[in-house]
Structure 1
Amino acid sequence: MDFSLNDDQRLLEESLGRFLHNEYDLPARRARIASDDGFSRQTWKTFADLGWLGVPFTEDDGGFGGGPVDVMVVMEAFGRALVVEPYLPTVLLGGRLIAEGGSEAMRRAILPAVIDGAMLLAFAHSELDARFDLADVTTSARRTDGGFVLSGRKSLVLGAAAADRLVVSARSGGDRRSRDGLSLFLVDPASDGITVHDYPTVDGHRAAEVTLTGVNVPSDALIGEEGNALPLIEDTVDRAVIALCAEAVGIMATMQAQTVEYLKGRSQFGVPIAKFQALQHRAVDMFAACEEARSMALFATLNADATPPERARAASAAKAFIGRKSRTLGQEAIQLHGGMGMTDEMMIGHLFKRLTVIGTLFGDTDHHLDRFADRASTA
């Protein structure tokens, strides 16, 4: 089987590599994080001009018409450079939910603006007590004559403070953890009754707690069929998990390469420590872990368009496997750098922080091991 990229994907990979190598070093990243938005809107517009924001959207929606492999290429490159711009919340979460569930009028109003870099989105779904259960939603959606009234609280909403629109999940029927009764709504964060408490996360990104108190939304704010949003949410989150696996692979590759370079440049007893056989063995183990992770990320990517059970198994298998491998590789990288690996001045610590956060987003290793076992037993 041929796993090589096609010509368009190679061109995409090359354009990503050139831009990020020239424009996204550690000082530039630090400046972006310190800005009011926590990222660079100018860089975001450049992403749009280069076509990266349109990669997963169809040509009918104004996009590139790319598939899961194209997204994998983008996310691995973003991982290598530790990009902080809100690609995950805007394009892969909010954008996909609207692209797959929104009405034609909604898609025409929102997606071209997203692809042009003029609109940012955030997916407000997770709640404090849900513990990775996508069906565990207590935020309510009560029907009124003109639409719905939303009330509840959402936690760890990525990119919410900068978002122009929120995609909010709320329960319009069913019990707290019922698979039926979940609905999605497109909400203006400036609406009365919404408060957004923004905060930085340990990896340099931004998230927020979003509280909705009697927020009125019109009927045409509904995304998809009322009460039947969970399959779309599961599909979107599985694809986000697969994309995060690709990002983790990019981070792991950078950590491995930077660690080898550090070993070559540091000397003890008059020779580079890279000549010490024990350290060579550890460096080889890091390389092997990186390649194994890349294989699992590709496996999950190639199953992104499979049936829902197969997609779920592949996503969870990759997330659990890469979570374990990335933790081991990250710890090795820090140890081989010694005390320098813990400093803010070196990239290696920032890479490990992002890997740690990826390890818990949308479910940690234990959660995905259990999920894989459940899906495998019912296959």
Structure 2
Amino acid sequence: MDFNLTDEQRMLQETVSRLVSSEYDIETRHRYAASEEGFSRDVWSQLADLGLFGVPFSEEAGGFGGGGVELMVVMQEFGRGLVVEPFLSTVVLGGGLIEALGNNGQREEYLGQVIEGSLLLAFAHGEPDSRYNLQQVETRAEKNGGGYRLNGRKAVVFNGDSADKLLVSARTSGAARDAEGISVFLVDRTAPGVTVRAYPNIDGTHAAEVYLDNVDVGADALLGEEGNAFPAIAKVARRGIAALCAEAVGAMEQAVEQTLEYLKQRKQFGVPIGIFQALQHQMVDMRIALEEARSMAIMAANADQAESPEEAERIVHAAKVIIGQAGRKVAESAIQLHGGIGMTWELPLPHFAKRLVMIDHVLGDTDYHLERFSELMETPAA
């Protein structure tokens, strides 16, 4: 397999890198994160103008037909800049579900708005008792006249406070942990019966608890065939995990680079502390962890090319585990090597560390994915 980027992919990487470098010094990022919506509408418009929102969508859907590698390139640069714009929730998860489940009319109407940057989405799937299990959905959707009535609660809905529409998973049949019987509905965030309680996460991003109390939607709010949304949810979640893995690599790159520079500049006993062998060993361990994570991010980006969905799932589980462990190693070592200054708000480093911690908990943490990987390895091949 050729791991070198094509000319087009390098151009994409350079384009995103230039924008992030010009818009995302740490003070500016703090200001964006502290705003009411938690991101910059101006930056969001610039991302749209560059065509980045069309990268993962097929040409038939109005996108550029990019694959996992193109998405990896974008997310890695976002990770280097600690970008807080809702690309993952709107484009990767929300837009991905509409492309996978929507009919021609829904794809034409909503994906066009996503690509031009005028529609923000949030995937309201996780619930208080689901513990990362994609199949566990207790929110119910019952037939009501010509439409549906939704009742339930969704937890940790990223960018749920700023989204125009929520993609709400709800059970139209079956028990709480059945893969069958799950449907996805497009719901206006401001619809009667929808309550959104927003809060900041430890890394400066935003999330929300979403309460659905007798929320009525029309039949046209249903995406895809009733009760058959889970395969698409699982596939989009895999792509979301691959995107997070790439973002984590970008954040780790910055943490490693900043730490190496600090070891060259910080002096003790009249010499740079980077000459001390013990610190050199730690630096090498950080670099090894980064390279291991980079390899797994590449595997995750190409998971959709696996021979089966089960194999793709194994690859993504393994990547999330290795990258979660590597992220913790890099974050902890970087802070230790910086000493007390490594915990100060003014230094960019601790914010990369917090983002790496947060990434580990999005769409399943290290423990969850390790358990799922083990279960799949014990399952006999069909």
Matches of 1:17 and 1:133, distance apart in 2: 35
What displacement does 1:371 show? 0.7
What displacement does 1:355 show? 0.4
What displacement does 1:62 show? 1.6
> What secondary structure, in the 3-state scheme, does the structure 1 residue paired with 2:298 have?
helix
The residue that corresponds to 1:44 in the other structure is 44
Q: Does 1:351 align with 2:352?
A: yes
The residue that corresponds to 1:90 in the other structure is 90
The residue that corresponds to 2:371 in the other structure is 370
Partner amino acid, structure 2, of 1:355: L
The residue that corresponds to 1:319 in the other structure is 320
Partner amino acid, structure 2, of 1:128: P
Matches of 2:222 and 2:73, distance apart in 1: 32
Residue identity over aligned pairs, in percent, reads: 53
What displacement does 1:282 show? 1.0
What displacement does 1:111 show? 0.6
Q: For residues 22-81 of structure 1, what are the alpha-carbon distances to aligned partners after superposition, in whole Å with 9 as ceiling and x for unaligned?
A: 211101101101211110001001000011111101122221110000000011100011
Q: For residues 306-344 of structure 1, what are the alpha-carbon distances to aligned partners after superposition, in whole Å with 9 as ceiling and x for unaligned?
A: 321011000000001111111111100000010111111
The residue that corresponds to 1:333 in the other structure is 334
The residue that corresponds to 2:235 in the other structure is 235
Q: Does 1:259 align with 2:256?
A: no
> What secondary structure, in the 3-state scheme, does the structure 2 residue paired with 1:156 have?
strand
Which structure 2 residues correspond to residues 48-63 of structure 1 after superposition, within 5 A? 48-63=48-63
What displacement does 1:304 show? 2.5
The residue that corresponds to 1:102 in the other structure is 102
Matches of 2:171 and 2:73, distance apart in 1: 35
The residue that corresponds to 1:175 in the other structure is 175
Partner amino acid, structure 2, of 1:177: R
Contact 2:34 2:204 in 1 (8 A): no
Partner amino acid, structure 2, of 1:247: E
Q: For residues 341-375 of structure 1, what are the alpha-carbon distances to aligned partners after superposition, in whole Å with 9 as ceiling and x for unaligned?
A: 11110011000000001111111111111111111
> What secondary structure, in the 3-state scheme, does the structure 2 residue paired with 1:190 have?
coil
Moved more, 296-305 or 231-240: 296-305
Q: For residues 224-279 of structure 1, what are the alpha-carbon distances to aligned partners after superposition, in whole Å with 9 as ceiling and x for unaligned?
A: 11011111111111111111111111111110000000111110011111111211
What displacement does 1:214 show? 0.5
Return the TM-score normalized by structure 2.
Answer: 0.98
Matches of 1:238 and 1:57, distance apart in 2: 15
Matches of 2:188 and 2:125, distance apart in 1: 15
Matches of 1:139 and 1:346, distance apart in 2: 42
> What secondary structure, in the 3-state scheme, does the structure 1 residue paired with 2:157 have?
coil
> What secondary structure, in the 3-state scheme, does the structure 2 residue paired with 1:155 have?
strand
Unaligned runs of 5+ in 2: none
Matches of 1:322 and 1:92, distance apart in 2: 19
Return the TM-score normalized by structure 1.
Answer: 0.99
Unaligned runs of 5+ in 1: none
Which structure 2 residues correspond to residues 286-297 of structure 1 after superposition, within 5 A? 286-297=286-297
What displacement does 1:145 show? 2.0
The residue that corresponds to 2:192 in the other structure is 192
Matches of 2:325 and 2:181, distance apart in 1: 35
Q: Does 1:34 align with 2:31?
A: no
Q: Does 1:113 align with 2:113?
A: yes
> What secondary structure, in the 3-state scheme, does the structure 2 residue paired with 1:60 have?
coil
Matches of 1:2 and 1:125, distance apart in 2: 36
> What secondary structure, in the 3-state scheme, does the structure 2 residue paired with 1:72 have?
helix
What displacement does 1:203 show? 0.6
Count of matched residue pairs: 379
